[in-house]
Amino acid sequence: MTNPLLHNERLPAFSKISPEYVEPALDHVLEQSKQTVHNLLASLVEPTWESLVLPMEEMDASIDRVWSPVSHLNSVMNSDELRVAYNACLPKLSEFGTELGQNEHLFNAYKKLAESEHYSELDTAQKKVIDNAIRDFRLSGVELSQADRDSFKQISQQLTERTAKFEENLMDATHAWKKHITDKSLLSGLPPSTVAMAEQFAKRDELDGWVFTLDFPSYMPVMSYADNREFREEMYTAFATKASDQGPNAGQWNNTDVMTDILKLRHELAELIGFESHAHRSLATKMAQSPQQVLEFLTDLAERSKPIAEKEFEELKAYAKEQGHSEQLESWDVTYFAEKLRQQRYSISQEELKPYFPEDKVVQGLFAVVNRLYGLEINERHDIDVWHKDVRFFDIFDSEGELRGQFYLDLYARNHKRGGAWMDECLVRRQIEGGIQTPVAFLTCNFSEPVGETPALFTHDEVTTLFHEFGHGLHHMLTKIHHAGVSGINGVAWDAVELPSQFMENWCWEREALDLISGHYESGEVLPQELFDKMIAARNFQSAMTMVRQLEFSLFDFRLHLEYQPDQANQVDKVLAEVREQVSVVQPPKFNRFAHSFSHIFAGGYAAGYYSYKWAEVLSADAFSKFEEKGIFDRQTGLEFLNNILEQGGSKEPMELFIAFRGREPEIDALLRHSGIAA
């Protein structure tokens, strides 16, 4: 039978991809790619865009066609067999990538191209592709001695294996723990929708009663509403000790040594290519100019936010005391009493909003918002092969009727799917034989599924998450650049990549937009004005506490990678304790092992880059302030954002693009105003 990963359909044949096809397909395409490089260099006389860059781009695309669907399935439909196949391929990919990055002849060809007359005739985007390639060769150790290059290759392979292990441990630990309840009294305080979902989970496991899991839609309502303190503590303990040496599954799937290995390997790689630390190396591809600039930015925000956060926490403790809570306020009490205080102060809860945000209304409303901003039409397709029955597929057309992008939408949490929400590339926009390749995105979330006959109902937080990921998706799909290296999110400085995503979140708070995205699942009534007013009033409830929590993550990540010392033990704990002392107002219990599940930095692309969320939030708040001035659905402003930001991909520096849209450099005031911290 033909291997579906090599059978050149445009979209992956997900229903036909099984684990036994993975390794043979990758072996085949890597062998072909090595041959391509060999033939290219053997016949290359004068490097030009056509003779050098395009064949390399085509080669990368052939590998992506095999690996992108495999990597995606490993995240959303994980199985033991797929995991074995996936892990067998990682060292091969790492080795190939390093050898390519250290190919001197290829490096010299790119340098020669950059110094040629031909280079001056290329457009800005093409020049950026070549400049980035030369930078990346250097970051891959092309200029090292042979012995150091060998070390680089070996370290890169180990690092790939360890980051994959971190993610596996976290997924296994998350799905290994369940709380089965038969005592109805433990459900006191929980919303009916949460109870119904827990009952559905129990039935699925052929159990009586209710089952709760560590997936966010199950975990968060317990933290927010469960009256039984022991139940909250048990759930919190299991959640806060995932993949660690503590908690109910202590020592199983333990990420302690994995984190140590990852930090050590990253530091060694950075030093090999002449950087003081992984943080320094990380900034080579970012907007921020120096570690000092990042630390000053985060520290400044912390100094402005912490006094307000302390005041908020004192209010919370006083309120809990009034409610008869005589003990110390622990981490498993904070969300619970915060939710009660929010309800007392604003008479509103996430739960109360859920009936107004049924899945179909939210999704169609999101499409209506981008239609008003950019003139896009989005239509569902039912003839596309998907990996799970709940996955949907859509086409995006612009106002001229041109197909601009397509995306898969996978919204619900389930077993064998990694947690969180993300956008990933299936296909990038690029010039191919016969025209332009349409970009395709994977949009993945972990929301509550439909329960019984009731449609999936989203919290307002989940609606905001969907808008966030769709912002990434638009950045990927609406690009007008057709050189893969700087198309969509490619080549975009990592600390600017969150601009389009955080920017989209703003519409979730605007009355005009909420009229499009809300509609009661029974009556169809849009979100009532009274609820909207309460929601806006409560928007910045404990926003300083939220701010310092994000700053804790950012400072911990950055300092950990900046200050790492190979000869010191327990650096994760030490740095985390120091950062918490500096910025946190809620001190978690000793057994808390937050770092062990911080996959953004230990398994994702955010190592020494988590600060990007705050950095880009300054950009997005300031960008949105232009819509606040002109009107949130002002088409002219929408088209300016589309033309200057979304369509440009990574073809120019982010600051240049921002200034083209805003007319000036970004200012922090809008972020402080939106967060309620300026006041």
Sheet strands side by side (includes 392-397): 377-381, 392-397, 403-412, 440-447, 422-427
| Rounded to 5°, angle at Cα 47 from 46 and 49 | 135
Place of tokens 């040594």: 257
Single-letter residue type at 103: N
Contacts of 670 (CB under 8 A, 6+ apart): 618, 621, 622, 624, 625
629 is catalytic: no
Query: DSSP letter string over 590-627?
Result: TT--GGGG-HHHHTSS-TTTTTHHHHHHHHHHHHHHHH
Among 196, 511, 589, 545, which Cα is nearest to 342's?
Answer: 545
Q: Is 533 helix (H, G, I), strand (E, B) or coil?
A: helix
Four-CA torsion 204, 208, 214, 220, nearest 10 degrees: 110
CB 566 within 8 A of CB 261: no
Tokens describing residue 224 = 């927010």
The span from the CA of 447 to the CA of 469, in Å, is 13
Number of other CB atoms surrounding residue 266 within 10 Å: 25
Could you report how far apart the first and last alpha carbons of the chain are, in Å? 66
The span from the CA of 408 to the CA of 410, in Å, is 7
The span from the CA of 189 to the CA of 79, in Å, is 36
CB 426 within 8 A of CB 485: no
The span from the CA of 666 to the CA of 192, in Å, is 45
The span from the CA of 494 to the CA of 282, in Å, is 9
DSSP secondary structure letter of residue 478 = S
Question: Catalytic pick from 167, 469, 510, 552?
Answer: 469
* Residues marked as catalytic: 469
